[in-house]
Structure formats: structure tokens, C-alpha cells
Structure 1
Amino acid sequence: YTRWINDPDQPWVTTSDERRFAALVLSAAGDVTWHALAPVAEVEKTIASLRELALTGARSGGRETGSKLGAQLSDLRRLLVDPLLGSLPEATDRVVLSLADELQLVPIEDLPMADGRTFGETLRVQIVPSLRTLLHEPSRPVAEPTALTLGSVDYDTMPESGAPTFADAVTPIVATATYEGHRDAGDERAGENPTPKTFADLFNTEARRVAKMFERAFPDATPTVLREVDASEAAFVAEAPGKTYLHLATHGYFAPESAWRATDAPDGASALARFDAGAHDRVAQLSPFSLTGIALAGANLPSDALGHREGILTAQEIAQLDLTSCYLATLSACDTSLGVRRGGTGLASLRQAFHAAGARFVLASLWRVNDVHAEELMADFYTRLWKQHEDPAVALRGAKQAAKQRGVPFRDWAGWMISGT
């Protein structure tokens, strides 16, 4: 998928100033077909409505909300998928998609088809960061894997080891937050297991559970577990390279382009940061990867005299790591697919940063999800991956379908996407 203004068959003819999405379909035989799709504005509006309904519908529920959500999903299928189906060769059972910009925020394999099945049930859908990845040999998990899990981060304590120095590092631009609430803990309901009291407890439970599952699946391997104040920038940067599996159960952040600078909370509260609006021209000069990242130990502390903020690992810094040994990076945090669009670079997100660093597969969230449901989905996913030896994309699809059948809200099972090959 891509954006366009002029028809490539007649590039000298300017039909309008309206930007549209388009798709180039490459068959196994090498044939390429061009499909002009809907206007960008229409697609963006539909995506925004879908995301809003997915978030509000999980809280409010109701048949009316579900009906509206289904209508938005069907509209996106009509705009993005239906025009391509006729050009697929007969007996096609698999499609590989490279999604442009905001399309990376759509659960595209979960779009409902006319026959009631989803797109992912009709065809095996594989999402890749770029079609260039198809030039690589398909990756295989190593026989003796290693793992790092990170969770129960102490956002309010300064780590003993200072943050590492990165080339061309800039002060991160971060949205207003105190790190105890970027994922929804969920409500305690009669007859259900009570949820942990704090988000740190939730993330701790998930990180420990994944580590124990890894130990049971690979008895000869001991995972590296980073917790509390040890879950620092320095520790992650030192330990992550060389690991086969990375599982990060912490908070992600994304600052919109209206953000300009991180400033300490004036009341001295342990807020991660505040941002000022209105300086788009200045932000445009920064690396878009400086606008998104993950929170590690000390993230809630005020910045130092030079403006450095401990505990904020930006996507720009992640992209500089050597993660070429990483088979799968799981970003079990909210909004880890969000990013800034730049011409020629696509969506500069955490997902893209981990791929740029060398990770073959990246599992990330499309929006905020419920922690309890997320932990259960992750446990099912890793069981399928490590015990049943399924491909990561197949394992996620199975875990999502199982969650759907358990009655988990759409937001919490559809809000995950895996990319890679």
C-alpha cells in the first residue's frame, strides 16, 4: 500500500490535488497490478472512528456500539481489501502486506468479509515492515534460544547505573503521564478473579509468567529478568543484544507532533513530562523516532540540569542497538504501533525501530488494551509458539481467535499485530 496523487500510468497528468491510497499487487509470477483506492482523508477518518469505537466500546459495551464497530470494519474492508481481491491469482491462499502509514494502525486481518469470515480466515495474512524483507531467507528460531523479560518497573527510583550514551541523542519528546496507567487494569466484577492493585503488579505478573513459560519450554536456558530498579536503560541496552526473545511489559508512549519540549511538572509531582503545543516547525526538524519510546526505571523522575531524563528509551536509541539475534520482540505496552509519518520513511514507531535494530518479528499493540486480557493472550501466544512450535503470526492468530471465543472485547483481542518474516 502507498499514497499517490498522480496516476503512474500517466504521471504527467495531474488529475487533482487529492491524496489517495493505492496498492501495488505483486504476484508470485512477477506480474504487478496497480489499484487506485480511496482518498486518504476518507480512510483516515474511518480509522479514527474505528479506534475510538474500539476503545469506548470495550468500556460501554452494548449492541449499538458493536454495530457501529462492525460498520467501520466493513467500510475499511471495502476501501482497502475488496478492490484487490479480483487481481489475486486463482488458488491464492496467502498474502503478504506492506502497510503504509496509518494502515499500520488497522487490525487488517480481522476485517470482516462478506461471507462472515475475517480477512485472516479467508487468506493467510502476513504483515511485513517492507517488501524488501522478502529478499531475506525466512527466519527460523534457534535451537538454543535466549530470552529477556522486563516488567514491574520502578518508575520512581534512580537506577545505580546511569543511562548509556547514544550517538546523536536528543532530549525525548514525551506526552504528559505518570506511569501508572497507560493500559487499562479492568474492573473487578463479581465472580471474576480480582485484578492486581497496581499496574506495576500487573506488569510484574506478566513478565514473571512469560519467564517461567520460557524456562519450562527450554529447561537448559535461563531467561534474563529485569525488574524494579534493575529494569533500567543501562541494563536493557547491555542485556538485549544477543537475545532471541525480548518481552517488554512496560509502558510505551507517543507524543504527537504538537509536542515540543519535555518540562518538569511545576508542582513537583512525579509526572513523566509535560509538553507544549504549537511548534510544528521545530518538531519537524527532530528525528521522528524521538517522539516515541518506552518507560524504564526512573522514568517519573525530573530531568537533570542538561535536560536529560532518566528511564526514557526512545525509538531513535532502540534503532541503534544490535538486535540481529532477536527472533521476536514483544512490546506488551500500549500504543506501540503509533508513530509520526515522514515522507519516504513511513510511520516512525517503536515497531519500526525494533525492526531497524534487527528484530525479525515484532509483536506490538495498536491501541490501549486491558492488562488482564493481555496477559492471558500472551500466555496463549507463547504456548502456541514454544510448545506447539507454531509460526509467530499463526500463533498470534490462534491466540486472538481463542480470546474472541472466550468473549474478550474486540479492543483486547484485536488490538495486537505482528510483523516480520
Structure 2
Amino acid sequence: MATQYAISGTTARTIAASVERGVAEGSLGPGAALPPVRALADGLGVSPGTVATAYRELRQRGIVVTRGRGGTVVAHAPAVGSRRPPRVPAGVRDLAGGHPDPAFLPVLTPPDRVAPVHGSHRGSPRLPALETLAREWFTRDGVPDGQVTFAHGALDCIARLLSTELKPGDAVAVEDPGFHHLLDLVPALGLRMVPVAVDDEGMRPDELGQALRAGARAVLCSPRGQSPRGGRFSARRREELLEVLGAYPEVLVVEDDHNADIAGVPLHSLTTAGLPRWAQVRTASKHLGIDLRWAALACDATTLARHDGRLLLTSGWVSHVLQETAARLLADPGTRDLVAAGQEAYTARRAALIEALGRHGIAAHGESGLNVWVPVRDESAVVNGLRTRGWWVAAGTRFRIDSLPAVRITSAALEEADALRLASDFAAVLGESEATYGG
């Protein structure tokens, strides 16, 4: 066995529980290999079929993955317990979180009085005023608004879409590098990830084609403000992707347009082309505040029915208090002006950092959104080197599957003078790394 943890049990249920306990306690970390089925069966005195059933249950729950000849291993982000981002060290500037500048976020103003409700809101889950505003939000960028509904944030919405559309073991095409919470979510739902490389224009059509030929039944993509690289669909890339998708009408295409109001670039959406199965998710957290856990979903009729049917059986609806808060903000001219100012500042700050790094010969990417992606040879050396100089950036490993090393820098609150200093420190750290490790 590749691990010192002793798996126990005499039934599929107790064997699976033993593995889950080891993962939850940290004795079996991500990537830890489990014994071959027959070897564990012999060690426990049970049939191979019992162990195989236990492993199948663990796979369906996203705790382990099977890698062919590589055997069964603990998933990269197993669905056991909760995984928090690294704690920001004291005394450093936090540029790792991907958060907007609080200066451009409005004050949340819930309704002053909330009258008691007799019964529930399941019969009328959406406030008409907010539904109208949501339709206008999508229509502004050409996204069809025939079917619109709400969710408790983008991840909640995407999880519901995938869990109602797919079954455990199905494959999902995901961006690589991609949003780390989505890369954690997909295996947690018992689904397989098929990485699709991205560049400054988003998903690469050739790699998307490979993923679809490999059996991907859903595609998760960001049309702009892509995290962590900052890519955005160009008009040409949109057409190239649509040409690939045309041969797979049964595949569900989910766009995560979480930076819709602050991406700083126009939307070239796949959803405007009449795809049979599609959805676009927009969240308010990046431009109205992270505590406003509300998202709007536009989609085809089948997807709407499946999403809302599952929502009805769980939370039922998004809090009307939360909906009214969102509606007030979306309709407020002052809030719209503040968000527009934020978008302008984010674009300027992102460009300033890329330019500052470029003066030192450091290539960086960030066509849209709140972050800049900087390829490096040694993520740890750069993260630790910048930490000694007072900066805290995100190691790219959290966002990568097969893509090359890099670090993500959140530029949203980085003024130009700070960008110049950071770029100088970055260059010095790279120089030290080359001197230490020979490049």
C-alpha cells in the first residue's frame, strides 16, 4: 500500500466509510493511492466484489477517482469536509483572493420592514420586479431571455444544472486553467473532468473538439472575465467554438458570466446562436457584493424545468428579502454609476500591471476581469519570494489540471504606483530563483 492508513470494514458500506474517514482526517490526502481491489479484498477477508462496490460508491460521491492503470486515488478536492484557501500571512498585501475593490461596491440595503408570510413562496418564487430587471440584464448583451430563473449564486446554480443533467461518472469539459471552485465542484458531484486548454480568447476549439469526442456531456466555460487567465471570447473564437459544438446538439453548454458588469469587454456569447441545450449564469457578487448570494439564469426550456424542479424540492426559492435587496440595487442609478466606475478602474489597473511587468520582460495575461495570470517556472519560489517583499499572490496549482505553472495576481485594488513596485519585486524574485535553481 502507498499509504500507512489501514482501511477497515467487512461490507461495502463500512469499507467506504473507513476510506471517507481517512480522507476527512487527513490520513489519506489528495492523490493518495488506494490498494488494488483484489489486494484490499484479500487483506480484509472479503470478496473483490464487495471492495469494488465500495470504490464505486466513493467514486460516485467524488471522494476518489480512477485513473486506468494508475489505479484508484483520492480526488484532488474530495467531497469530504471543507477546503479553505490558504490563510493570508500577517503584514502582507493580499492579491490572491480574486475579490473586487470594496470602494466600488454599494452598501446593501435590505427592505426596512418584512411582513410575515402565510405559507411559502413556492407558488411565486421570483419577484416580478427582479425578474424584469434580470431579463433586461440578459437582453442588454443579446442573451435570449425567454426562460429566466434565480439561484443562490453561480456555483449553486451550476451544481444544480450538472446534477440534474448528468449521472455519476459522466464527463464534463472544463477550462484549464480554470476557476478552482468549479474544478473542485465537478469531481465532488461524482463527474469526470476533461480539461480544455484556454488562451487569451478562451477555450481552444481544437481541444474542445477533443473533449467532446472523448464523451463530454456538458461544457463549462467563461465568455469573459475568465478566472484565472482573464480570457474573453472574441467574435472569431465564438464562431469557431460554435462550429465545433454544432456536431454535438445533445451537449449542455453552460456559460459562467460572473463578471458581466465589470469584465471591461463586450460579450460574444455562445448562447445567442440557437444552441439546443444552453445556460448562462450571472452572479451579483463581483459588482454588488460577495454577501449578495443571488444569481440569474437564462437557459433553454428543458434546462429551466430541470433546474427549477430540483430547486423546488430543496430550498424552494431564493429569499424574497434577498431578491428585493438585489432589485433595489439593480434599479438604482447611483449603483449603476458606481459599478461603471469600478469597471473603468479595473480595466486600467489590470492594464497597468501587465504593462509594468512587460517592462521587466515578464509576460502576463489578462484580457478582462479582475486578475492577471503570470506564467512562471516555479510557483512556490515566486509566491514565497513575493511574500518576503510584502505581497501575497495565488499559486497557480489551485487552478490547473494539465496547464503549465503560473501565479494569479488580483489587480482589482492595485493602484498604478503599487503595480510598478510589484513588477520590480517580481523581477527581483525571478532573478533570485534563476540564480538559485539555474533558471
Structure showing the higher helix proportion among its residues:
2
Structure showing the higher strand proportion among its residues:
1
The higher radius of gyration belongs to 2
TM-score, scaled relative to structure 2? 0.29
